Amino acid sequence: GAGVSQSPSNKVTEKGKDVELRCDPISGHTALYWYRQSLGQGLEFLIYFQGNSAPDKSGLPSDRFSAERTGGSVSTLTIQRTQQEDSAVYLCASSPPGRDEQYFGPGTRLTVT
Amino acid sequence: SQQGEEDPQALSIQEGENATMNCSYKTSINNLQWYRQNSGRGLVHLILIRSNEREKHSGRLRVTLDTSKKSSSLLITASRAADTASYFCATDKWGYKLSFGAGTTVTVRA
């Protein structure tokens, strides 16, 4: 079956511009996560959605970052007024109900020039 | 902040040899998971071990967990070129919000 998909795969943007990153989780997965991976680093948790519950936004680094999940499926991560330190690979993952292992998408590589 | 820390940072072995890497963490956990990331690709879940388990096997993978020492090890037996990748341990306290280490880069030489 189809895995987690993310778009775009690469995004180059100028400092100060807004960007939107999209994640399509595996069908039937109720949990969705966003992470950020900077060069040579481990993953940094950003936000977690579970069904209709309020998301856990505790990992968002600043109020320039926001995310939403429409209809319990597709999610969009928005970064406003991008800064160079936002350059990273943004990874999305999803989990099936009642399971803790996470299935990751290929990521979006964001470069802020 | 990173909860898990892998050791060594890098490992180079001959095809057919075993590879062992370790993960230490700081606070109590619910689960510990190992993931693999091939160059330029997404992470693939390898194995999950719960805090009340001590050892788990999956194919050529063996994971141990010692909660008293807050450490875990991942053993890959009879390594293959396709095992060349970065390996990450990830811990969670409540079943989500994984905290990853910086990873161990494994190179398997033909």
CA distance A75 to A73: 7
The dihedrals phi and psi of B22, each to the nearest 5 degrees, come to: -120, 155
The CATH number of residue B97's host domain is: 2.60.40.10
Q: Number of structural domains, chain B?
A: 1
Mean pLDDT of B79-98: 89
**Per-residue pLDDT reduced to its tens digit, A62-94:** 999 999 998 879 999 999 999 999 999 999 999
Work out the pLDDT band at B1, boundaries 50, 70, 90. Answer: very low
Among A57, A102, A103, A108, the strongest candidate for a mutation testing the B interface, having the largest count of B CBs within 10 A, is A102
Q: Do A43 and B97 touch (CB under 8 A)?
A: no
User: B74 and B63 in contact (C-beta within 8 Å)?
Assistant: yes
Pairwise CB contact (< 8 Å): A100 & B100: no
Q: Do the chains contact at B96 and A50, CB–CB below 8 Å?
A: yes
Determine whether B102 is exposed, middle or buried from the number of CB atoms within 10 Å of its CB (0-12, 13-18, 19+).
middle
List the domain range (segments joined by +) for residue B105. 5-109
Return the domain boundaries, chain A: 5-112
Name which of B45, B58, B50, B26 is nearest B88 in CA terms.
B45
Q: Which CATH class is domain A5-112?
A: mainly beta
pLDDT < 70: residue spans in chain A: 1
pLDDT above 90 for B78: yes
Label the pairing between strands B85-92 and B104-109. Answer: antiparallel
Residues of B in contact with A48 (CB under 8 A): 96-97
